[in-house]
Amino acid sequence: MPVVVVGVGSNLGAREAAIRAAADLLDARVGIEVCAVSKIYETEPLGPPQPRYLNAALRLETQVPPSELLSVLLRTERRLGRRRNPAERWGPRSIDLDLLWDERGPHQSPGLLVPHRELENRDFALGPLLDVVPELAQSLGPSLAELGGAPLLWTRETLIQVETSSKGFEVDVEADSLVDACALCVCEPRAPAGRPWSSRHLRIEAGVEQFSAAVHEVVRSGFSIHRSTISHCSKSQWALEFHGVSMGKPAATHVRLWNTSPEHRQFRLRRTALFNP
């Protein structure tokens, strides 16, 4: 199966959660398998002042043609809250997916050039790419060395503890930011089987209590959450995506979220969910 490398970047909202969500969504598509995810790097943004980026790369195995794959990447961006503005080339973004390299060889079509035209000039693209296709080290390694080597690895000051039982589960998260903690704290340990996957989308007022209420209502409606992502956030509003399955009957759930300010991690959140027998 041909190998393709997709570069992933995010500098808005729950950056790591957006990268993981992009990998999950691409892997869930028929004809695409995500075989490897690179280390995550933190880099300075290009263009106007804006938050720092997290960058990674995904190794895909697929026979989907490059132009069709580009359409898949753009749709995935939109699902994760990205709204492209043609007039804003270097602006901040919740998620950015670029087709960097294709084992099948060079490709050029309207809106797409593979390999990416700036690949050998960007350490934040080359570093992650060589993590997932080390076989290219001989050809692309010298370019990365000329740029000063790979960017600094990102280390997340986060602690996640999960306790499960036949009655439900509890997730306790300490994280750098409230947004990261909320996005990380809603994830069941095992995906329920036997039912088709689907997504629920909500917009809520920004805040812990509103997030807690949203989780409660989604679970109470009979939707079993496998992953939750805050795909866009501002001071006043969050856009949520719940990815999971409709189980057909409501689950008894109690959601508890709170925040404290420990010395090394800014926020602590806990979620408890109890299910009907």
pLDDT digits (tens, 9 = 90+) for 101-155: 999 999 998 888 899 988 999 999 999 999 999 999 999 999 999 999 999 998 7
CA angle 81–84–87, rounded 5-degree value: 150
pLDDT (average), residues 149-169: 77
Query: 267 pLDDT exceeds 80?
Result: no
Name residue, tokens 């035209």.
117
Q: How many CB atoms lie within 10 A of CB 164?
A: 13
Q: Where are the beta strands (DSSP E) in 111-222?
A: 112-114, 159-165, 168-175, 197-205
- Please give the mean pLDDT across all residues of the chain: 82
Query: 259 pLDDT exceeds 80?
Result: no
* Confidence (pLDDT) at 46: 82
* Confidence (pLDDT) at 4: 96
* Confidence (pLDDT) at 260: 54
Does the pTM of the predicted model rise above 0.95? no
Give the SS3 label for residue 18.
helix
Q: What letter does residue 128 receive in the DSSP assignment?
A: H
- Count Cβ atoms within 10 A of the Cβ of residue 47 and give its class: 0-12 exposed, 13-18 middle, 19 or more buried: exposed
* Confidence (pLDDT) at 240: 83
- What is the C-alpha to C-alpha distance for residues 5 and 132, in angstroms, rounded to an integer? 8
- Count Cβ atoms within 10 A of the Cβ of residue 236 and give its class: 0-12 exposed, 13-18 middle, 19 or more buried: exposed
pLDDT (average), residues 89-94: 79
> Which residue would you say has higher pLDDT here, 118 or 198?
118
Give the SS3 label for residue 165.
strand
> Which residue would you say has higher pLDDT here, 72 or 183?
72
Determine what percent of the chain is predicted with pLDDT higher than 70.
84
Query: 230 pLDDT exceeds 90?
Result: no
DSSP string, 109-126: ETTEEES-TTGGG-HHHH
Q: CATH 3.30.70.560 in the chain: give the residue spans.
A: 3-146
* Confidence (pLDDT) at 53: 92
* Residues marked as catalytic: 82, 93, 96, 98
- What is the C-alpha to C-alpha distance for residues 224 and 246, in angstroms, rounded to an integer? 6
- What is the C-alpha to C-alpha distance for residues 165 and 169, in angstroms, rounded to an integer? 6
Q: State both tokens at 256.
A: 């508890």
pLDDT band at residue 236 under the 50/70/90 scheme: confident
Query: 222 pLDDT exceeds 80?
Result: yes
- What is the C-alpha to C-alpha distance for residues 1 and 62, in angstroms, rounded to an integer? 6
- Of 3-12, 26-35, 196-205, the range with the lowest mean pLDDT is 196-205
> By the 8 A CB rule, do 33 and 77 touch?
no
pLDDT band at residue 59 under the 50/70/90 scheme: very high
In this structure, whether the domain defined by 3-146 belongs to CATH 3.30.70.560 is answered with yes
pLDDT (average), residues 192-197: 67
The sign of the dihedral angle between the CA atoms of 184, 185, 191, 192 is: negative
pLDDT band at residue 231 under the 50/70/90 scheme: low
Query: 277 pLDDT exceeds 60?
Result: no
> Which residue would you say has higher pLDDT here, 14 or 261?
14
* Confidence (pLDDT) at 97: 95
* Confidence (pLDDT) at 34: 95
Give the SS3 label for residue 210.
helix
Q: Kindly list the distances between the CA atom of residue 62 and the CA atoms of 32, 102, 110, 134, 186, in Å, as whole numbers in the listed order.
A: 5, 10, 21, 18, 30
